[in-house]
Structure 1
Amino acid sequence: MHVAVLSDIHGNRHALDAVLADVDDRGCEEIWCLGDIVGYGADPNGCCAAIREVARVCLVGNHDLVAIGALSSEQFSPDAAAAAAWTAGELQPEHRAWLGGLAPDGAAHGCALAHGSPRHPVWEYVLSPSVAEASLQAFDEQIALVGHSHVALSCAKAGRDPVELEQRADGDELLIGARRWILNPGSVGQPRDQDPRAAWLELDPFEGRLAWRRVPYDVEGAARAIRDAGLPASLADRLPLGR
């Protein structure tokens, strides 16, 4: 079974449509979304509608929770807070209610799922070996899938050996083997690993195979939509830079 793992769409419908087309071309049978469907981009309702239609499993992220008023934006940068306030005003009631019914963590086909980290699923970033080591103690499954950092990466642990953390590029493939893993697909809508292409992860949880994918999309169209909506220009400026 092939699963497409998506995260951090952030209201970028241009990127989401490109990823969904690639997912379909590769014959994935299920889509799992790790949260932050809305946030920085100009089409929160379109992204919610698309994910509601195709995702078998969906988590809620911190930006989703702030946009529906379930969390404060006090930990956000000024531009992120402005985008959250704009999104809150744009969200249709049906999408607001749907986001409010989602959890920030869960499980599917023997994989642990969390938006942030397995021990702190809303806010914690898994970007260092020390955080990965601590997070590996917070779930029992062999694999945990996380988002939130906007960086495609893998964290591998074999026995008592130190965690191996690696940033992942387009086409990187792995066999799960006997090690335990924390895996991040990267961001669909706002990558921060110097590659502006939309990111996702192709996973076969039964055969133990996975591959990171990157998809080109209309970055300028997404940036123009942000500017046309009156959102902070920095959110548009960063898209072509992948940061």
Structure 2
Amino acid sequence: MKFAVLADIHGNSDALKAVFADMDALGLTDAVNLGDHFSGPLDAHGTAELLMSRDFPSIRGNHDRWLIEKTPEDMGPSDRVAYDQLRPEHLDWLRTLSPTLTVFEDVFLCHGTPASDLAYWLERVEDDGTIRASTRAEIEAEAQGIDASLILCAHTHVPRVVRLTDGRVVLNPGSVGCPGYDDDHPVYHEMQTGTPNASYAIAEQKHAGWLITFRSVPYDPRGMVALAKAQNRPEWARAVGTGWVSA
């Protein structure tokens, strides 16, 4: 079994095209998608058309949930731009997605943690906004009751893999389309990878366990940067163009 793991595309259709081209070059046809597909001041419509044409097993993230639960007037600016671009069939597709999913009999998908699409799993935010790696005890506490040898999560946009005491593997593939962002929940903090490349992962089940390969795919982000600037979102333009939030 071998498949790609995608997450946090956030409407970046050019990054998604680069990932698909990389997968095609590798002969990789199977994939799963961990949510937050569209939200952002970029190209939600184009992203939706690309994703729905491939029809990978997918789950919804927190921004996907807000796109179908909130009224447009109550949405944040990134969700509202995406909502205005999406067609009814795109929103109907989001409504079919569950918050978690088990695929290939032994692979569990969630966006944040199994219990929450808003919680970070492999990282923690300190009271002063500092980001640290979660401890093994913190990670394993969230994994209780998950009967799968490979557990997939997203939401932080940071690629990372952790092996639990019992041999299960927790994998975050990073973000296809949004390599940096800031957030004020639970306190203000910044997540940034330092590269504009599109990130995804490949998982392959071997006799000795899961072989994980991280892919960092270069592409030209200038089109997406221009879209962010057109929406008066300089922070998005900087993050998509450089991978950094802070100057």
TM-score between the two structures when normalised by the length of structure 1: 0.83
Alignment match, 1:135: 142
SS in 2 for 1:238: helix
**Which amino acid is the alignment partner of residue 40 of structure 2?**
Y
Match of 1:175 in 2: none
For each residue in 1:68-109, what CA deviation from the matched residue of structure 2 results, as whole angstroms up to 9, or x when unmatched? 2359998xxxxx921112222221111011111111110111
Shift of 1:231: 4.6
Distance 1:238 1:24, change over 3 A: same
The corresponding residue for 1:115 is 111
Change in Cα spacing, 1:71 to 1:108, as seen in structure 2 (3 Å) is farther
Q: Residues of 2 paired with 1:185 and 1:8: CA distance?
A: 9
Aligned residues: 217
- What is the rounded CA distance, in whole Å, between the counterparts of 1:30 and 1:70 in structure 2? 32
| C-alpha distance in structure 2 between counterparts of 1:41 and 1:116, whole Å | 22
What is the CA–CA distance in structure 2 between the aligned matches of 1:58 and 1:231, rounded to whole Å? Answer: 30
Which of 164, 172, 177 pairs up with 1:189?
A: 177
Query: What letter matches 1:42 in structure 2?
Result: L
Alignment partner, residue 63 of structure 1? 63
> Which segments of 5 or more consecutive residues in structure 2 lack a partner in the other structure?
124-133, 180-191
Q: Letter of the aligned partner of 2:240 in structure 1?
A: L
1:95 matched to 2:102? The reply is: no
CA root-mean-square deviation: 2.1
Q: Equivalent residue for 2:168?
A: 180
Write the distance in 2 (CA, Å) between the matches of 1:183 and 1:49.
Answer: 27
- Check conservation: 2:72, 2:83, Cα contact below 8 A: no
Give the secondary-structure state (helix, strand or coil) at the position aligned to 2:4: strand
What corresponds to 1:235 in structure 2?
Answer: 236
SS of aligned partner of 1:210: strand
Give the partner amino acid of 2:21. Answer: A
Q: Is the 8 A contact 2:156 2:174 kept in 1?
A: yes
2:214 to 212, 223, 227: 212
**3-state DSSP class of the match of 2:49?**
helix
* SS of aligned partner of 1:47: helix
What is the rounded CA distance, in whole Å, between the counterparts of 2:71 and 2:175 in structure 1?
22
The alpha carbon displacement at 1:4 in A equals 0.8
Answering whether residue 17 of structure 2 is matched by residue 21 of structure 1, we say no
Q: Is the 8 A contact 1:62 1:71 kept in 2?
A: no
Partners of 2:147 and 2:31 lie apart in 1 by 22
Question: Which residue of structure 2 lines up, in the alignment, with residue 85 of structure 1?
Answer: 80
What is the CA-CA distance between 1:226 and the residue it aligns to? 1.8
Rounded to whole Å, the distance in 2 between the matches of 1:73 and 1:185 is 32
Please give the secondary structure, in 1, of the residue aligned with 2:91: helix
Change (3 A) 1:216 1:11: same
| Cα pair 1:11 1:37 within 8 Å, conserved | yes
Q: Is the 8 A contact 2:225 2:238 kept in 1?
A: yes
Structure 1 residue runs of 5 or longer lacking an equivalent are 75-79, 160-178
